[in-house]
Amino acid sequence: MPISSRFFVQSTTALLLVGFLALLGIVGMTFWLGERAQVYFNEVIAARDARSAAVDLRNALQTAESSQRGFLYTGNEVYLASYGPAKTLAGRQLATVKRLLASYDGVSAVLPRLATVINEKFAEMDLTIAMKRDYRDADALARIRTNRGKTLMDEANIFFAGIISATDERLTTGVAEQRANATLLRLFSIISGIVIVIVIGIAAVTVVRYTRELRRARTEVSVLNAGLEQRVEARTADLARANADIQRFVQIISHDLRAPLVSIVGFTSELQDSLDDLRLLAERSDDPALQEARTAATELLPEAIGYIRSSSDKMERLINAVLKLAREGRRPLKAESIDLREIITAGAAAIQHQLSEAGGKIDIDLGVPKIESDRFSLELILGNLLDNAVKYRAKDRPLLIKVSTRAVAGDRVEIEVADNGRGIAERDQERVFDLFKRSGTQDQPGDGIGLAHVLAAVRNLGGEIGVTGELGRGTSFRLTMPRTLATTETIAA
């Protein structure tokens, strides 16, 4: 099934979103597990330090007790060398144990009792040492025989065993949590990695398929373009041949029409000469038959000959118009820089006499003063439009013609020629550009070829022309064309 561009964009976006979420999950989980690992690590370090402090406290207490016993047995002060440091160390380690085990449930409650036991133990040892120094050996021995010191030491060892057990348990729990944390991080990383690999795989497959589709489509387009170019070349050749055939047809038709037209005009002249001879003959005779011929020669036949001649002249003009349109389509266009004000002023000068008679004026408003186009075609177009504005003016008001230009989209220019003349009925606005078609009252000379010629010239320049207006209010012709003529030659379709 071919992959559409929309499906490709949607699927790629979805895959990127899934990959982003998976990556975000990895980052978030890694951060969370890292924080947990740090907490467990801190707990393990605290438990280790607490255990070490408890062991050091126990060792200090034992060292002090050994030092006390040696002094009591021998009375030698050398045995008390380690007593003072051991007592100081015991006080420091007791404070450390209290600080590190303050958060331990069950242990923190017995710490005050441990401190009391240790203080009492050191007080009991201090007392016996003092008795020994005062040579009160009997009192010191009696004090020892009360087993008070042993009882305190045994109780302290019980506390030490509990503390060491609690810290060992905390160490074991911390290590287990660390392992579980690492296992969870590893598992989540594996799952997320699999998800990312799947997403990348699906994205890669989608991209490859889409690329293949694009390559296949490009190949098809290339084939179609090649065929299209051939068809265009063939159609262009056919069109050129058809245009040439049309040109030959127009020339043949005009020649074939002119041949009988010349004969008609010639024979009409001979008939006119014969009528003159007949009229002279009838004037010299009283024959009633000749008198009737004289009436026909002087009244009836001249009128008929006049109709024949006017019809022949009209046919001559129509043949010339058709030939003119045909030749205009074959005329090569020449692009040059054109000052539109100059063209419009020249066109206005050509109708200045009629414009003055109508009491009219021309307003010029050029938003685009210059373009590159064919001068002859523009002169023909604007000349015809200005001539029509004067020819079909309203008799009851002064004529006003407005010519304006402005830039429009697509690097094109719009030229508008508007007047306040008779106007064109809406039903006639589509057909005024047809050859030999005219609208409104036919009180002006013309054969209906001017606007057809304008339409052909505008299209030859690559433009379009349209008309709007209201009967009795005026007419507006708008033509749009390229600001710059694309080619210097054209073939009329």
Task: Tell which CATH classification among 3.30.565.10, 3.40.50.280, 3.40.1110.10, 3.20.20.140 matches the domain 332-482.
Answer: 3.30.565.10
Measured CA to CA, the distance from residue 123 to residue 331 in angstroms comes to: 131
232-282 tens-digit pLDDT: 677 767 666 656 655 665 565 555 565 666 667 666 776 666 666 656 655
Which pairing describes strands 464-470 and 400-408: parallel, antiparallel, or unpaired?
A: unpaired
Strand order in the sheet with 464-470: 361-366, 400-408, 412-419, 474-482, 464-470
For the record, the structure tokens of 87 come out as: 């007592």
CA 110 to chain CA centroid, Å, is: 74
> Along the 493 residues of the chain, how does pLDDT read in single tens digits?
566 677 767 777 887 787 778 778 777 877 787 777 787 777 788 888 888 888 998 898 899 889 988 988 888 888 888 989 998 998 898 888 888 887 776 677 788 888 899 999 889 889 999 998 888 888 888 888 888 888 988 888 888 888 888 888 888 887 888 788 788 878 877 887 787 888 788 877 777 777 877 788 788 777 777 776 777 677 767 666 656 655 665 565 555 565 666 667 666 776 666 666 656 655 665 666 555 666 666 665 666 666 576 666 656 655 665 666 555 555 678 889 999 999 899 888 888 888 788 788 889 999 999 999 999 889 989 988 888 888 888 888 888 999 999 999 989 999 999 998 888 877 777 777 776 666 656 656 656 677 888 888 888 888 999 898 888 888 999 999 999 987 544 434 3
Closest alpha carbon to 489 in 334, 327, 326: 334
Cα angle, residue 289 at apex, residues 283 and 294 outer, rounded to 5°: 40
3 state SS of 398:
coil
Closest alpha carbon to 461 in 390, 385, 372, 354: 372
Q: Which amino acid is at 185?
A: L
Distances (CA, A) of 135 to 70, 130, 320, 323: 15, 9, 159, 156
- The domain locations on the chain are 5-211, 238-328, 332-482
Region at 253 (left for phi over 0; alpha for psi -120 to 50; beta for the rest): alpha
CA 323 to chain CA centroid, Å, is: 51
